[in-house]
Amino acid sequence: QVHLVESGGGSVQTGGSLRLACTASGNIDSTTYMAWFRQAPGREREGVAAIYILGGSTYYADAFQDRFTISQDNAKNTVYLQMNSLKPEDTAMYYCAATDIRKYIPDYLHRRYYTSWGQGTQVTVSS
């Protein structure tokens, strides 16, 4: 199991930016993919972006392709989510997730494939 801690959330105005960080500890050597999900009140948790830790390939949900960027710093065991041009509809709790799955994953942004989760960090965008 991997322990994940998110940070970087906060309150910004429309058009602002935030960078979320997710630091991993524990059994991180077996981690293959890490991802960011978000959940707004009354809505399902949705995948935002994922990254293949071993090679750096990135995957995005279509809605975030142009505004969000996922990256990693292996020396710090940290994955980031840079969020630009934020909108009120981006208001949500953002969660980091990790998996050690090594077989083919048909959807890197589906929560079913992720086994370790952080506690989340709140992002609030005001108009």
Arithmetic mean of pLDDT, 37-62 = 96
Residue 14 is predicted with a pLDDT of: 98
Arithmetic mean of pLDDT, 33-48 = 97
Each residue's pLDDT tens digit, 68-100: 999 999 999 999 999 999 999 999 999 999 999
Arithmetic mean of pLDDT, 26-39 = 95
- Whether the pLDDT of residue 27 is over 90: the answer is no
Residue 64 is predicted with a pLDDT of: 95
Residue 5 is predicted with a pLDDT of: 98
Percentage of residues of the chain with pLDDT beyond 90 = 93
Residue 35 is predicted with a pLDDT of: 98
DSSP state string for the chain: -EEEEEE--EEEETT--EEEEEEEEESGGG--EEEEEEE-TTS--EEEEEEETTT--EEE-GGGTTTEEEEEEGGGTEEEEEE-S--GGG-EEEEEEEE---S--S-TT-GGG--EE---EEEEEE-
Residue 103 is predicted with a pLDDT of: 87
Average pLDDT, the chain: 96
Residue 4 is predicted with a pLDDT of: 98
